[in-house]
């Protein structure tokens, strides 16, 4: 019960890494508000996981939906202790072929929405002199690969935003950390991971001998969200089977 009495917002909480965090955080005693665009997916997750779960469907790129998420969470739980910024968009193309709209879309979901939600929650945390952010970045925020420049940049920016929160609000009792997953089997990576030859080649770069599953990332998020990591802030933690070790 490492999160007993804690109130948590998890974006993208109805699938993949977000769902794994929802399950684990509820198992550890947290009250959890999950958000995403698909109401049916949120309700299905809440039913299957059990526990104290609030579902708030919405689009994180819309300020009104963010306002509603924060308001409904505070109304239901009375406070916000932890925010897991998990929602993300992955797409790619060569830089010279990337359309402005595609670039802006990735930045809006992966960075601007995180800024807007954080901005709304911070005053509440400052007032309580306590708070904790866990951001789902990527190993592509630490290194770059060809063909996905917008994604690389958005996840690198998220790591710097994470550090900025840690530096600026540490004196107010607020921590902020980022998790940088390697390749994880989720709905977002399903098509990519169906390419057996490609996966055989990529697996050579994972010393531990396998790709990740959502619970691998959720376990790291739980550590950073809990008081066990009370002396940890501003880090970008690779959870990648050793990919970035070479």
Flag whether 243 is in a domain.
Answer: no
Q: Which domain holds residue 32?
A: 7-186+213-238
Secondary structure of residue 20 in the 3-state scheme: helix
- Give residue-wise pLDDT tens across range 125-155: 999 999 999 999 999 999 999 999 999 999 9
Flag whether 206 is in a domain.
Answer: no
Flag whether 121 is in a domain.
Answer: yes
d(CA 198, CA 170): 43
Flag whether 139 is in a domain.
Answer: yes
- Contact between residue 171 and residue 229 where contact means Cβ atoms under 8 Å apart: no
- Give residue-wise pLDDT tens across range 183-230: 998 877 877 788 888 889 888 999 999 999 999 999 999 999 999 999
151 is catalytic: yes
In the chain, % helix, strand, coil (3-state, to 5) comes to 55, 15, 30
Residue of 53, 47, 1 lying closest to 22 (CA atoms): 53
- Give residue-wise pLDDT tens across range 106-126: 999 999 999 999 999 999 999
Residue of 79, 80, 89, 83 lying closest to 134 (CA atoms): 83
Give me the catalytic one of 151, 169, 206, 223. Answer: 151
pTM of this structure: 0.95
Flag whether 231 is in a domain.
Answer: yes
Flag whether 52 is in a domain.
Answer: yes
- Contact between residue 96 and residue 64 where contact means Cβ atoms under 8 Å apart: no
Residue of 109, 194, 188, 117 lying closest to 155 (CA atoms): 109
> What CATH number is given to the structural domain containing 137?
3.40.50.720
- Give residue-wise pLDDT tens across range 76-112: 999 999 999 999 998 889 999 999 999 999 999 999 9
Flag whether 234 is in a domain.
Answer: yes
What is the total count of domains within the chain?
1
Element (DSSP H or E) covering residue 238: strand 236-239
Flag whether 198 is in a domain.
Answer: no
């Amino acid at each position: 019960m490492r999160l007993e009495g804690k109130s948590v917002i998890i974006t993208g909480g109805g699938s993949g890494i977000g769902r794994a965090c929802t399950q684990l955080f509820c198992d550890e005693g947290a009250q959890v508000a999950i958000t995403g665009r698909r109401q049916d997916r949120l309700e299905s997750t809440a039913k299957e996981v059990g526990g104290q779960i609030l579902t708030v469907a919405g689009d994180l790129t819309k300020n009104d939906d963010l306002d509603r998420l924060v308001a409904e969470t505070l109304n239901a739980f009375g406070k916000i202790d932890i925010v897991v910024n998990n929602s993300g968009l992955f797409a790619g193309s060569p830089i010279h072929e990337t359309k402005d709209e595609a670039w802006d879309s990735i930045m809006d979901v992966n960075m601007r929405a995180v800024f807007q939600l954080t901005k709304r929650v911070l005053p509440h945390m400052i007032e309580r002199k306590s708070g904790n952010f866990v951001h789902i970045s990527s190993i592509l925020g630490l290194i770059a690969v060809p063909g996905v420049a917008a994604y690389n940049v958005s996840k690198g920016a998220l790591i710097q935003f994470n550090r900025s929160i840690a530096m600026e609000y540490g004196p107010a009792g607020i921590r902020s950390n980022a998790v940088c997953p390697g390749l994880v089997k989720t709905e977002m990576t399903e098509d990519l991971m169906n390419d057996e030859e490609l996966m055989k080649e990529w697996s050579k770069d994972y010393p531990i001998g396998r790709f990740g599953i959502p619970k691998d990332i959720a376990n790291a998020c739980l550590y950073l969200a809990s008081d066990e990591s009370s002396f940890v802030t501003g880090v970008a933690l690779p959870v990648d089977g050793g990919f970035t070790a070479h």
